[in-house]
Structure 1
Amino acid sequence: MPDARPLTPEERLADAKRELHLPRIVVICGSTRFMAEMTEADLRETTAGKIVVKPGCDLKSPHALWSDPAGAEALKARLDELHRAKIRLADEALVVGDYIGDSTRAEIAYARSLGKPVRFAHPEVDPGA
């Protein structure tokens, strides 16, 4: 009898989530100009019984942590990588906002490349529709 193939990291994560009886995890994507809409979506998804992950920093709003332009650029790259990790962790993505820029378009493409369902608060902006 041939050896069973080893599980992929994604399969091991899915198994662990099932074993732990975790609720679905939704990642909120979109431009940080829609932080208020993200907060509202977080509220709605949480009250629907889902675990929510979303951007935690709005680099468009002034803050001492990203006041230095060189440091802000490096931070943006780290935050983009962190958000991709949130997408990998999630069971589905929810895109908020009625505008899809390059970063959000890349997040949508990444989620779809991983086979994650992607929902839109404004379905008319779905770049794949």
Structure 2
Amino acid sequence: MNKYNVITLCGSTRFKDEFIEVQKDLTLQGNIVISVGLFGHSGDNDVWKNGTKEMLDDMHKCKIDMANEIFVINKDGYIGSSTKSEIEYAKTTGKSVRYLEDIDE
């Protein structure tokens, strides 16, 4: 695995098409890409049960732990509270953070 950079995608699941496009692009650039398992804001919310969001949030932090960096899908500048939490987590664990669209820091 040291041969390939590992990137976890973060962002609102309302941007399903962008997640798929970025995953393809980063994979073709030679990266291992870890993405979300469900698109809750894009039609997968019917399979959610009590506690599913909490489990997925915890699981996504484990995915960040597995990566060298995260790539934030921030279409139209949107970064929700869950994604903000993931960005902060990534930064505190020493991961680099890249964004689909430029941000003001």
TM-score, normalised to structure 1, is: 0.73
Considering only aligned residues, what root-mean-square deviation do their CA atoms show, in Å? 1.5
Query: CA offsets per residue over residues 104-123 of structure 1, 9 Å max, x none?
Result: 10000000000100001112
State the partner residue of 1:118. Answer: 97
Partners of 2:44 and 2:9 lie apart in 1 by: 22
State the partner residue of 2:15. Answer: 34
TM-score, normalised to structure 2, is: 0.89
State the partner residue of 1:90. Answer: 67
- Letter aligned with residue 37 of structure 2: G
Query: CA offsets per residue over residues 61-80 of structure 1, 9 Å max, x none?
Result: 155422xxxx2x41111111
Residue among 90, 100, 108 paired with 2:87: 108
- Structure label with greater radius of gyration: 1
Q: Which runs of 4+ in 1 moved over 6 A?
A: none
**Matched position secondary structure for 1:55:** coil
Percent identical pairs in the alignment equals 36
Give 5+ residue unaligned stretches, structure 2.
none
State the partner residue of 1:59. Answer: 40
Partners of 1:62 and 1:103 lie apart in 2 by: 17
Give 5+ residue unaligned stretches, structure 1.
1-16
Partners of 2:86 and 2:39 lie apart in 1 by: 16
Q: Between Structure 1 and Structure 2, how many residues are aligned?
A: 102
**Matched position secondary structure for 1:118:** strand
